[in-house]
Amino acid sequence: MRYLTGGESHGPCLTGIIEGLPAGFELKSDDLDRHLERRQRGYGRGARMAIEKDRVEILSGLRFNRTIGSPLTLQIRNRDWENWQTLMAPEGSEPPGSVQLSRPRPGHADLAGGLKYNYDDLRLVLERSSARETAIRVAVSSVGRLLLEKFGVRIYSHVVSIGPVESAAGSSEVPGLAAQIESSALRCADGGAEEKMILEIEKARDQGDTLGGVLELVVTGLPPGLGSHVHWDRRLDGRLAGAVMSIQGIKGVEIGSGFAAAAARGSALHDPITIEEGSGISRPSNRAGGLEGGITNGQPLVFRAAMKPIPTLAKPLPSVDWKTGEKVSGATERSDVCAVPSAAVVAEAVAAWELAVAFREKFAGDYLEEVEAAYRFYTEQVERRLKPNH
């Protein structure tokens, strides 16, 4: 499976085209809208979230709520387009006297993108580099998520930290706390920590500043055998890391014990393989985070991502005017104070897509029943191999 997206932050719409879905897969736009709404939540979000109420329109590849094997086209209209039609018109000429963005914001793509594409107006960078683009990625990737859920895969996320405040909740607790996390303003499983996080966000807002943090994903129900060790670009850990690192603001990813593994001895780190009469082969720990050799091993997939503070500041850092060379402050745009909870939902989505692609590689088929048959055959083989005494 593969997809492409198009659209600018303040353009008419965002569009995604998916290729490779099996025919006969049931799909409703409401199922995608639910995840778009989750993306827009979170204490510390900016004014743009009050404007947009994202909804998906399915334009092709679906008939009577079932995929037909042809490309699936999704569209999300930007409600804010009404306020930008003159400045962001796809056709015609730039209006006389329009103000161009010439003050690159430190930490954004503005300066590097302006150099790469030889732009005078840095808005041409801002419009596509904006995290608004993640709305269509959430919609597209949620299609892959729904496919995984049909086979018992479940994806959870929670916020581990915001600024200096850390949650005490562990990854093993997350599935059981899913309802609490969904009702939390910060996707935090630790109510005491959440109160302190909110205070940190309020303090940053009052000071014209922003905050980052760490999010964690837990995926259950994955069969062993997704991904492969045979070539570098088929290793699932690398593919997942690349997908999550592609989210705006993400600066680090770790799987399982992650960076802490570097300080441990191998004898204390690696997960033993045990066998018990009646239950077969099992693993008493999951420090590998569900991946070994780039392949899922049947345990829950656990990985974390670090998000930097958002670079658009109410009290901007020093910059230079792109046209005159004058010392100025970086440009300001509507922005969030903290978007870590939203980034967790986006991370769920992009991870779901990468896992769905790996799932389809393992369980091929042009229609859903063909995929289901391949899945049943393989999982029966795995069950027999994990119980060698039976």
CA distance 321 to 308: 25
Q: How many whole angstroms from its chain centre is CA 51? A: 22
Question: How many whole angstroms separate alpha carbon 104 and alpha carbon 123?
Answer: 10
Stated as kind and residue range, the H or E segment containing 182 is helix 178-183
What percent of the chain clears pLDDT 70, i.e. is strictly above it? 97
**Exposed (0-12), middle (13-18) or buried (19+): which is 33, by Cβ within 10 Å?**
middle
Instruction: Count Cβ atoms within 10 A of the Cβ of residue 273 and give its class: 0-12 exposed, 13-18 middle, 19 or more buried.
Output: exposed
122 neighbors 113 (Cβ within 8 angstroms): yes
pTM above 0.85, yes or no: yes
- Distance separating alpha carbons of residues 19 and 31, to the nearest angstrom: 19
Amino acid, single-letter form, for residue 40 = Q
pLDDT at 193: 96
Residue with tokens 């932050």: 9
Q: Is residue 309 a contact partner of residue 336, using CB atoms and an 8 Å limit?
A: no
Q: Which domains does the chain have, with CATH numbers?
A: 2-92+100-386 (3.60.150.10)
Strand stretches in 129-271, DSSP E: 154-162, 165-166, 213-220, 250-255
Q: What is the pLDDT along the chain (390 residues), one digit of tens a residue?
A: 999 999 999 999 999 999 999 999 999 999 999 999 999 988 876 655 556 689 999 999 999 999 999 999 999 999 989 889 888 999 999 888 888 899 999 999 999 999 999 999 999 999 999 999 999 999 999 999 999 999 999 999 999 999 999 999 999 999 999 999 999 999 999 999 999 999 999 999 999 999 999 999 999 999 999 999 999 999 999 999 999 999 999 999 999 999 999 999 999 999 999 998 878 999 999 999 999 999 999 999 999 999 999 988 888 889 999 889 999 988 777 678 999 999 999 999 999 999 999 999 999 999 999 999 999 999 999 999 998 765
pLDDT in tens, 198-257: 999 999 999 999 999 999 999 999 999 999 999 999 999 999 999 999 999 999 999 999
CA distance 313 to 34: 30
Q: Cα separation of 23 and 21, whole Å?
A: 6
What type of residue is 244?
A: V
